[in-house]
Amino acid sequence: MKISRTLATAVAAAVTTPALLLSVTPAFADGKPAAQTAKRPTIAELEKAAAEAQKAYDKAAADESAARKALTDLDSAPAMVALKTAQKDADEAARVKAAADQELADAKTWQNALPATASPVDKDLAAQRVAKAEAAVTAADTANATAAGKLATAKKAADRAQSAAQAELDRAKGATAKALADKKAADKALADAKATGGEGGTGGQGGKCSQDMGLTAVLNGFPSQIAAGSSADFSVRVTNGTGKQLDRLWPFVYAYVNGKGGGKDIDKLVHLQWSDAGSNGWKDLPLNQAGPVTDLAAGKSADVKLRLKVDGSTPLGRADLFVAADYRNADGACGGTPSQARYEFDVLAAGAKPTKTGESKPSTAPRPQGGAAATPLSATAPESGALAETGSSSALPQLALSGGAVVLGAGAIALVRRRKAAQH
């Protein structure tokens, strides 16, 4: 649970400045300080991206066409020509061998058919014929084996050429499909931006998120007192009264201790965790967000289990737990609760028994620290200031300073609430 450096700087300034007014809007845009928030692309930049995507698609389509032609024309490739030649030579060698085998068989048949009374000349002629046929068979066998080996080698080379050509076509087809998807995405981004009349609009929202009175976030079972060195389990219930389904919704929870020594860095002393539905495991809250809750239908509620762990060295005294909720839909529409509820609780000494057994009740009004009277005033931070926020709409209560007393309420939480909505 990290308090932003911006907040720390603001609080430090408040201690030494008699009167300082700060106003911040809730952060649906970025987890970074506003000065580091990524600028949305301009229409010109989107047009350039769309043109480059079109060029990439045209090249990919041309490469696919060339790969398809190369596969079709493979018969004239050297490897395929060599295969045809090797096949022809192998067929001829097999024919010669078959003829030689037949001649040897005939020669032996003629020799064996000679009568015992045959003349020496006839017997010698028969023997010469057999010997000549045997030599021809030996030569034919050698030639046939050589031709068969060359054919096998040619077949492997042809297979490799065939596989390479097919693989190249498959690769080219995949590249074309990806280039087409990129082209469509670039075209859509450009069309959406032009439709909103802005630069890089999202979901018809013009890049801004809206506050929605129909969305609520309340705590159930949160105690009014917690002893240092202990923890408390409770839950946050988000209710969708917006009249539309919320695709992804995040309860936002942040603790602030105002007790003795309050205002100093207590990030490492107070820890918030949440648990998945049906799970006994606990997870830290990234950017103070639990969840997400997904596909919350209009009129429905969802509960998220929470745990607040208070370190034994946490300053004693009054403390606050702030609760809100933000959402982002698949079409880019985003928004959140128009303000956050504040739940007061006391941090007791380690081992102390709570004297109050009831649950803490919510309040939306900021409370002065240290008992000093203060009224939050409406003021707007300069756009170029460290606390300026872009890309959001609903205004949360201010972090106001009066007479040296810090009014830490919704304004403080708004600073921490900054996050990059695009990561969802």
Which pLDDT tens digit goes with each residue over 144-180? 999 999 999 999 999 999 999 999 999 999 999 999 9
Q: What is the CATH number of the domain that holds 106?
A: 1.10.287
Task: Flag whether the pTM goes above 0.85.
Answer: no
pLDDT digits (tens, 9 = 90+) for 31-43: 333 333 345 788 8
Please identify which residue in the block is written with the tokens 């692309």: 41
At residue 373 the predicted structure's pLDDT band, cuts being 50, 70 and 90, is very low
Helices 43-72 & 120-196 angle (0-180, nearest 10): 170
Q: Kind of pairing, strands 283-284 and 231-240? A: unpaired
Based on the fold, state whether residues 33 and 75 are members of the same structural domain: no
Residue 284: the pLDDT is: 87
Based on the fold, state whether residues 300 and 344 are members of the same structural domain: yes
Based on the fold, state whether residues 161 and 304 are members of the same structural domain: no
Residue 222: the pLDDT is: 93
At residue 127 the predicted structure's pLDDT band, cuts being 50, 70 and 90, is very high
Q: What is the CATH number of the domain that holds 214?
A: 2.60.40.10
Based on the fold, state whether residues 304 and 415 are members of the same structural domain: yes
Q: Is the pLDDT of residue 233 over 90?
A: yes
pLDDT digits (tens, 9 = 90+) for 335-366: 899 888 889 989 999 999 888 877 878 875 44
Based on the fold, state whether residues 182 and 246 are members of the same structural domain: no
In angstroms, the CA 80 to CA 68 distance is: 17
Tokens of 209: 């998120």
Our count of domains for the chain comes to: 2
Q: Is the pLDDT of residue 405 over 60?
A: no
Residue 279: the pLDDT is: 67
Q: Is the pLDDT of residue 244 over 60?
A: yes
In angstroms, the CA 192 to CA 332 distance is: 11
Based on the fold, state whether residues 227 and 367 are members of the same structural domain: yes
The top-scoring range by mean pLDDT among 229-243, 254-268, 353-367, 396-410 is: 229-243
Residue 362: the pLDDT is: 83
Based on the fold, state whether residues 190 and 95 are members of the same structural domain: yes
Instruction: Tell me the one-letter amino acid at 423.
Output: Q
Based on the fold, state whether residues 258 and 383 are members of the same structural domain: yes
Where is average pLDDT lowest: 13-17, 71-75, 103-107, 254-258? 13-17
pLDDT (mean) for 287-300: 90
Out of 196, 228, 261, a domain closes at 196
pLDDT digits (tens, 9 = 90+) for 322-334: 899 999 998 888 8
Based on the fold, state whether residues 180 and 263 are members of the same structural domain: no
In angstroms, the CA 247 to CA 65 distance is: 41
For 274, the domain range is 5-40+202-423
Out of 196, 224, 256, a domain closes at 196
Q: Kind of pairing, strands 225-227 and 293-296? A: unpaired
Out of 170, 196, 222, a domain closes at 196
On whether the CB atoms of residues 220 and 235 are closer than 8 A, the answer is: yes
Residue 299: the pLDDT is: 95
Based on the fold, state whether residues 229 and 327 are members of the same structural domain: yes
pLDDT (mean) for 175-199: 83
Residue 407: the pLDDT is: 35
At residue 197 the predicted structure's pLDDT band, cuts being 50, 70 and 90, is low
Based on the fold, state whether residues 267 and 344 are members of the same structural domain: yes
Q: Is the pLDDT of residue 17 over 80?
A: no
Residue 42: the pLDDT is: 85
Based on the fold, state whether residues 236 and 381 are members of the same structural domain: yes
In angstroms, the CA 178 to CA 180 distance is: 5
